[in-house]
């Protein structure tokens, strides 16, 4: 039996960094929106665990699929040998949550394949701040480190998305926020531009109405129709796509 799951991307429709907690983590408040851009994860039972990857290139080291697999094995205290194939469509280091979504899809897929009677939420929290959201998707308000998720009503929109081909490490952006802070619809944008000055130039070329998602480096622009969204990306000489919101799964 093969289980194939779409690992959806997300956009941060807004993002506030409220400060640092006593344990050193950053507290945030954000609105997540899952979109139909997705990686595809196929899972089969196997004699030993292995991962192959196609599509957009990513680092094999510390891959989130294997991290999630290891975490669920530790939680269940049993071996769950599986063969994974991940087809990457979400640009890495773009702020669209590809790695976190891959991890959540891994947890969901293994739970189904091995008929595990476990709560995935605490495992998801250990893996990363965005992973709990990707267990359900849709549109949601998240607080704390991202683990306090409240589902919101679906909203109609189209999104133009542009990625400059720059991979940003989330930890580097948050570290920069400690120095430069932030404001506006995404408090991390100033920090991301501090880490990678080319991002500011990219944003200026995009023009009005574009907003950075997550810790960068992708930007999105909301439209009422698919045509409006496609018009926004027409003359951009970078990776682009047009996406729609996806409801809770």
**Cβ–Cβ < 8 Å for 222, 231:** no
Q: Cα(first)–Cα(last) distance of the chain, in Å?
A: 21
Mean pLDDT throughout 163-175? 96
Catalytic residues: 10, 130
User: In order of start, what are the domains of the chain with their CATH numbers?
Assistant: 2-152 (3.30.230.10), 158-243 (3.30.70.890)
- Going by pLDDT thresholds of 50, 70 and 90, the confidence category of residue 122 is very high
pLDDT of residue 60: 61
| Range in 21-30, 163-172, 225-234 with the lowest mean pLDDT | 21-30
Kindly report whether the global pTM for this prediction surpasses the value 0.85.
yes
**Cβ–Cβ < 8 Å for 177, 187:** yes
Interval 6-53: pLDDT, tens: 999 999 999 999 998 878 789 999 999 999 999 999 999 999 999 999
3-state secondary structure of 75: helix
Q: What is the CA radius of gyration of the chain?
A: 18
pLDDT of residue 168: 96
The residues that bridge with 50 in the sheet, in sequence order, are 83
User: In terms of Cα–Cα distance, which of 198, 196, 172, 174 is closest to 186?
Assistant: 174
Task: Check whether 61 has a pLDDT greater than 80.
Answer: no
* CA 110 – CA 81 distance, rounded (Å): 10
pLDDT of residue 243: 98
How many residues does this entry show for the chain? 249
pLDDT of residue 43: 98
pLDDT of residue 106: 98
* CA 236 – CA 35 distance, rounded (Å): 21
- DSSP label at 91? P
| Range in 29-38, 56-65, 102-111, 147-156 with the lowest mean pLDDT | 56-65
């Amino acid at each position: 039996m093969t289980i194939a799951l779409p690992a959806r991307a997300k956009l941060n429709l807004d993002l506030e960094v409220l400060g640092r907690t006593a344990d050193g983590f950053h507290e945030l408040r954000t609105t997540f929106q899952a979109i139909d851009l997705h990686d595809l994860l196929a899972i089969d039972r196997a004699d030993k665990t292995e991962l192959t990857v196609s599509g957009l290139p990513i680092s094999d080291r510390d891959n989130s699929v294997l991290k999630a697999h290891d975490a669920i094995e530790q939680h269940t205290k049993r071996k769950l040998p599986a063969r994974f194939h991940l087809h990457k469509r979400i640009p890495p280091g773009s702020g669209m949550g590809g790695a976190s979504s891959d991890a959540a899809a891994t947890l969901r897929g293994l739970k189904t394949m091995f008929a595990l009677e476990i709560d995935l939420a605490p495992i998801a929290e250990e893996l990363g701040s965005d992973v709990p959201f990707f267990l359900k998707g849709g549109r949601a308000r998240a607080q704390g480190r991202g683990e306090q998720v409240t589902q919101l009503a679906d909203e109609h929109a189209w999104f133009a998305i542009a990625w400059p081909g720059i991979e940003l490490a989330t930890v580097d952006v948050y570290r920069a926020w400690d120095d430069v802070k932030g404001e506006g619809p995404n408090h991390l944008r100033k920090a991301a531009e501090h880490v990678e000055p080319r991002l500011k130039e990219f944003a200026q070329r995009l023009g009005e109405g574009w907003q950075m998602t997550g810790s960068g480096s992708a930007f999105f622009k909301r439209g009422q129709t698919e045509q409006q969204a496609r018009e926004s990306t027409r003359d951009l000489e970078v990776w682009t796509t047009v996406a729609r919101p996806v409801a809770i799964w």
